[in-house]
Amino acid sequence: MPEQSLLDSMGAVAGGCRPSSDGGASEGSILLLSTSLLTDRILLYTRAIEVLASRIPVRVWTLSAHLPGLWDGVPACVEPYPKVHPFREFPFNHLRRVNEAAWDYRLRPVSRISMDRHFGKYRTSLYLRFLKLMGMGLGAARLETWFEARLERLLLRYPRSPEATARFAECRPSIVVSTGPYQFNDPGVVAAAKLAGIPVVAYIPSFDNITTKNRLVLTYDAFIVWSEDQKRQLEAFYPSAREVPVYAVGAPQYDVFFQERFHQSRSEFCAEAGLREDRAIILYALGSPNLLKGEADGAVEFARWVAQGRFGDAQLIVRPHPVFDNGELHDRLAGFGPRVLLQRVSGVQAGNVRSQDVGAIREWVNSFRHADVVVNLSSTVAIDAALCDRPVVNLDYDPAPGSPQTPLIRDINHVWSHFSPVAGSGAVWLVSRPEELVHAVRTYLERPELHREERRRMVEQVCGKVDGRAGDRFAQAILDAALATHAVDPSASRKWMQ
């Protein structure tokens, strides 16, 4: 079938969805799932939906659908995310643990082995140790693929989202795109789609997901990843991925750094933030507190050094992780004076759901564009900084009192599959104690050009193509996957955008 005929049969209508009699989207749309502000910002602020909607009706199911004004003007039918229930602990989650242990035994993933060593979840009870031994036995017998296939069939029979099933019966999309396959909600909707015979594409939203997260049990009809390196990791961890299309498109969330609408001059940014444009700006960016507990202590201690003048008249921005911005640092940083600024980065919020509006995106982009040095602890913000050619200092120790997690942090920096190439690239300055941190920041303030070429190479290795058009390629990958899953000759597909 020629490509245009296929798109016509899928109900292509430029500019959005064709409404049905009950107000929903018509059959023949592409359905995008999003349950995190980190993926919302791809759908909201890249050209992905615009490109898709010019060819095929687009629907979005998102937890943030109810946030006022957030999705206004998006050329898609935006609907609340359906309710998703957890699995019963027995037998479903127990068998998932067996499956995890089987694949860990076979693949020997260094990041997950390190996590097990530091957190010891299997050592918490004799029963969990028994499940691990069962999995190791399956792995030793090379039965992990056989077991996982049967586990998938079992999990598919458990109705985690009757609401999604009902929606699919009423209005069937041509393809579903999961932007959070490792998160709680998306697999429940994906299972309903698979049972309805709807093809599903999985987007891997971060460079650490494949090697650190719990295993994907559900199989997918195509994958979208950032880079060729990530594609090789995916195919090594998931043999079934070798049999389906895998598209390397770049990192769509970084497209906003290339968009003039989000750019501010240094004077504009500083005036809005209450900073002096003629003084250096140090950005201390925090990661997730779920893994590393001492980052906040490190930020408070660093703020004390700034207030004491250890970096001259430099100013400090402390930036929490946007998913975990709860304001807890406000009181701890309040006494350090006007040169220490704590950002509030959560954007718009209602209940326990938050997302980022245009103002929050602008603040994110310009915080990195105008920082003179960025300090972080083994997080994705090292990529944000290097993308903007900002010098990056990365802690190789735990800044909390007593440094209890230093062994874990050193594993992340020197062993873990996703971050050790970053830490070893020469693009970031690893510091193993506070005195080295002070020296590195002072040196970078004087010589910001240090390690510039290494930063550029590291960004390309982690993110693939970096040109502000990853969202376009993300959309084109979805269109190509729609063609592929309809058994269309690949030669009928449009060429990739260059």
CB burial of 69-81 (b: ≥16 within 10 Å; e: otherwise) equals ebbeebebbbbeb
Q: Judge if 441 and 372 occupy the same domain.
A: yes
Domain match, 77 and 218 both: yes
Separation CA 347–CA 361 (nearest Å): 8
The first and second tokens of residue 118, run together, are 């530091």
Among the candidates 106, 123, 156, a domain finishes at 156
Q: Which two tokens stand for residue 339?
A: 């040169």
Residue 226 and residue 474: Cα distance in Å, rounded? Answer: 9
Counted domains in the chain: 3
Give the model's confidence band at 15: pLDDT under 50 very low, under 70 low, under 90 confident, else very high. very low
* Widest Cα–Cα separation across the chain: 70
Residue-wise DSSP of 314-347: -EEEEE--GGG--STTHHHHGGG-TTEEE-----
Strand ranges of the sheet holding 58-62, from the earlier edge strand across to the other edge:
77-80, 58-62, 30-34, 175-178, 200-203, 222-225, 246-248
- At residue 27 the predicted structure's pLDDT band, cuts being 50, 70 and 90, is low
Instruction: Give the per-residue pLDDT at 121.
Output: 65
| Both tokens assigned to 74 | 């998006």
429 inside domain: yes
Q: How many CB atoms lie within 10 A of CB 134?
A: 18
Q: Read off the amino acid at residue 157.
A: R
Tell me whether residue 397 is in a domain.
yes
Same domain, 389 and 487: no
**Residues 152 and 163 placed together within one structural domain of the fold:** no
Mean pLDDT of the chain, nearest integer? 91
Residue 298 lies in a domain: yes
**Rounded distance between C-alpha atoms, residue 412 and residue 396, angstroms:** 9
Question: Above 90 in pLDDT, residue 486?
Answer: no
Distance of alpha carbon 52 from alpha carbon 31, whole angstroms = 11
* 358 and 420 together in one domain: yes
The CATH number assigned to the domain holding 15 equals 3.40.50.2000
| 325 occurs within a structural domain | yes
Q: Are residues 9 and 131 in the same domain?
A: no
From 156, 173, 193, the end of a domain falls on 156
- Whether residue 134 has pLDDT greater than 50: yes
428-454 pLDDT, tens digit each: 999 999 999 999 999 999 999 999 999
The pTM score is: 0.92
Residues 340/306, Cβ–Cβ less than 8 Å = yes
Distance between CA atoms of residues 469 and 257, nearest Å: 11
Out of 156, 175, 208, pick the residue that ends a domain. 156
Q: Are strands 175-178 and 30-34 parallel, antiparallel or unpaired?
A: parallel
Q: Beta strand 353-355 with 348-350: parallel, antiparallel or unpaired?
A: antiparallel
Confidence of residue 349 (pLDDT cuts 50, 70, 90): confident
Please give the share of the chain, as a percent, with pLDDT higher than 70. 91
Looking from the CA of 319 toward its CB, the CA atoms found within 13 Å total 27
Is 497 contained in some domain?
A: no
What does the pLDDT read at residue 348?
84
CA of 165: how far to CAs of 168, 227, 429, 433, in Å?
5, 33, 50, 54
User: Residue 489 pLDDT more than 60?
Assistant: no
| Chain segment 193-232, per-residue pLDDT in tens | 999 999 999 999 999 999 999 999 999 999 999 999 999 9
pLDDT value of position 122: 60
Are residues 138 and 269 both part of a single domain? Answer: no
**Tokens standing for residue 233:** 């990791």
> Is residue 9 scored above 70 in pLDDT?
no
CB atoms within 10 A of CB 389: 15
Range in 18-22, 45-49, 282-286, 428-432 with the lowest mean pLDDT: 18-22
* Mean pLDDT confidence for 468-491: 83
Q: What is the pLDDT of residue 326?
A: 82
Task: Return phi, psi of residue 270, to 5°.
Answer: -65, -40
Instruction: Report which of residues 498 and 427 the model is more confident about.
Output: 427
Per-residue pLDDT band for 350 (boundaries 50, 70, 90) equals confident
The answer on 485 and 362 residing in a single domain is no
Residue whose structure tokens are 């802690």: 395
Cα–Cα dist 394/378, whole Å: 6
Do 104 and 183 reside in the same domain of the chain?
Answer: no
* Host domain of residue 50: 3-85+159-254+468-492
Average pLDDT over residues 298-313: 97
Q: Give me the numbers of helices (H) and strands (E) for the chain, helices first please.
A: 21, 15
Q: Is residue 259 part of a domain?
A: no
Note whether 148 and 165 are same-domain residues: no
Same domain for 294 and 269? yes
Assigned domain for 334 exists:
yes
CB 444 within 8 A of CB 391: yes
CB 385 within 8 A of CB 392: yes
Contact present, 111 and 229 (Cβ < 8 Å): no
Residues 376, 297 share a domain: yes
Q: 498 in a domain, yes or no?
A: no
